[in-house]
Structure 1
Amino acid sequence: MTTADERLGNPPVDILWILAHPDDESFGSAGTMAWARERGLRTAYICATRGEAGQIRESRLATPDTLGAVREQELREAMSLVGVSELRLLGFRDSGMENTDDNHNPMALINQPPETILTHLVGHIRDLRPATVVTFGSEGVYGHPDHVMIGKIAARAVELAADDNWLPDMLQPWRADALYFSAAPRERLKAMAALPDSPFGQISERSRNNLGIPSSEITHWLDVSRWVDLKKQVLGSHHTQVDPEAFLNPDSPMAQRLLHAFEQYQRRPLPWDVDMETEDALERARSEIGAKEVPGIT
């Protein structure tokens, strides 16, 4: 990997998240981000959209026309709480849930040429120089079209950022040490989907059948219960989307509470020689706060 003294400007980041919407990072990784801050690690988040197609929980918080700007500010507030070193937004439009009118907006992320998104991401990766990259897997946790698309393209961007022949005039190539997918255990998500007030009520039957990934395929289970109160604050920053009391109060169903007390990742191979036992940031996290056993899977 190219060393920092070969570059000008800011030092490389230890962990880069590449996700789709404001709050994706807070649900799946706020505890990990808090752990990284305590360890003095540099972190960055690239958010593909401003979440313009999200819900408006209370009409006083935003209008359809202002929602994107409001959610961007919510995201900035959330990331300040967990000490993310750098936040970048790609500026594409939220595509909305599967089979909704927002899917047809010409500015929606899913309607952009993949090479356009790739070019943006390769440039950011070469600039930020992450040791570890986290994005979505092919299931996008619960099948949101933007999750699926950004995950697929981000994984490819990690590869192309290291390719001397791909956009050779766009900064120097950068080879990451580790790639992870943000994951959730299928068993737990299916238990949540069966709840009367399930957050997965709007997804298609196909997506419901493919929620998360089997727990046996998750490589990193992090116990972030120490940061649950902070995570509640972080989630609460997304005022338009989240009532934190509904997710983290003692009366919440066990499956839902466990979803926030633990954060899961799946390490993925890269097309160059990488020691899968190398202690990148998430390997270090697993050694320090890894769950001693698979928690609460039914």
Structure 2
Amino acid sequence: MTDNDGATAAKVDVLFILAHPDDESFGFGGLMAWAQSQHLRVGLVCATRGEAGEISHPSLGTPATLGAVRERELRCAMGIVGVDPVRLLPYRDSGMQGTPGNDDPRSLARADREAVLADLVSQIRDLQPHAVITFGPDGVYGHPDHVRIGEIATEAVMVAASSADPFLGGPWQTSRLYHMAVAREDLIEMSQRETGPFANTPPDVIATMGIPRSEITHVFDVSEFIDTKLRVLASHATQLPYQPEDGGVGDPAMRPRLGRESLKRIPLPWPEDRETADVLDAFNTLPDPA
């Protein structure tokens, strides 16, 4: 079951399958802005409404209203970069590892795996994306919802291409599958800062986050779109420092970080459609992606 925009699905070039509102903006706000400039069709499936997230200021919401607030923030952000449709699944944010939200029976962490898989297979078959982008096994920083949605979305790409479960729609072979990729070396450097994301994270913890830079297959220079990306990020007001100049995305030192986004291509066991496979290759700054 999903909360879908519109009765008739529009097919998309790129489909993001992520866990929470703001995952898409922090990870790919620049890539989405570039795709909009190229008149590419981009869709988003978001597994939760981020109910366990932060509330940066009491005026912005309460624990009871946060899910609805974050959905509005998400739709505002995606409107800036023309992402449509935006579809939300009916699962609840599980919270960080070891928090009470992990045990909530409504959470993505506790959801029936086959039900989540069926939801994602149905979305892929309906939207028929040329490329799917989701989380890898690292979940960037190990958030249980990142890890789970990435694992199931990766399987859903495979199942969607098969003849299984015809009641979920006809088979669809996605040409490309990518995992969000953040270089571990960059996270280690960020952990040594006094402020900002991952600042002062212990070395043994940061060593488990991200992936080695050598595994990244696609790096996108989105510096041209940083101002748009900042507008997209600003839509997620509940999740930003209330004074963003104090180490938040408004920190000038963060701008170079915002100008690069990256992916790891995951091989698929069928021939790709070369006519559509290079949708993202054209923007890749790395030579000859594997």
State how far apart, in whole Å, the 1-side matches of 2:150 and 2:102 are: 17
Amino acid in structure 2 at the alignment position of 1:216 = S
**Are 1:153 and 2:152 an aligned pair?**
yes
1:277-298, Cα deviation, whole Å (9 max, x unpaired): 9743211222xxx269xxxxxx
Where does residue 76 of structure 2 map in the other structure? 77
State how far apart, in whole Å, the 1-side matches of 2:125 and 2:158 are: 11
Gaps of 5+ in 1: 1-8, 293-298
Question: Structure 1 residues 99 and 272 mapped into 2: Cα distance closer, same or farther (>3 Å)?
Answer: same
Amino acid in structure 1 at the alignment position of 2:226 = V
State how far apart, in whole Å, the 2-side matches of 1:77 and 1:175 are: 31
Where does residue 261 of structure 2 map in the other structure? 263
State how far apart, in whole Å, the 2-side matches of 1:143 and 1:95 are: 12
State how far apart, in whole Å, the 1-side matches of 2:234 and 2:108 are: 26
Amino acid in structure 1 at the alignment position of 2:95 = G
Amino acid in structure 1 at the alignment position of 2:160 = A
State how far apart, in whole Å, the 2-side matches of 1:210 and 1:139 are: 8
1:191-230, Cα deviation, whole Å (9 max, x unpaired): 1122223433698876522111111111111000001011
Question: Structure 1 residues 207 and 138 mapped into 2: Cα distance closer, same or farther (>3 Å)?
Answer: farther
1:11-55, Cα deviation, whole Å (9 max, x unpaired): 521000000000000011111111111111111000000000001
- SS of the equivalent of 2:68 reads helix
Pairing of 1:62-211 with structure 2 (within 5 A): 62-164=61-163, 166-200=164-198, 207-211=205-209
- Percent identity (aligned): 49
Pairing of 1:218-237 with structure 2 (within 5 A): 218-237=216-235
Q: Is the 8 A contact 2:130 2:276 kept in 1?
A: no
What number of residue pairs does the alignment pair up? Answer: 278
Question: Structure 1 residues 195 and 152 mapped into 2: Cα distance closer, same or farther (>3 Å)?
Answer: same
For normalisation by structure 1, the TM-score amounts to 0.87
Question: Structure 1 residues 227 and 61 mapped into 2: Cα distance closer, same or farther (>3 Å)?
Answer: same
- SS of the equivalent of 1:111 reads coil
1:71-129, Cα deviation, whole Å (9 max, x unpaired): 00000000000110210000200000111111111111011121110000000110000
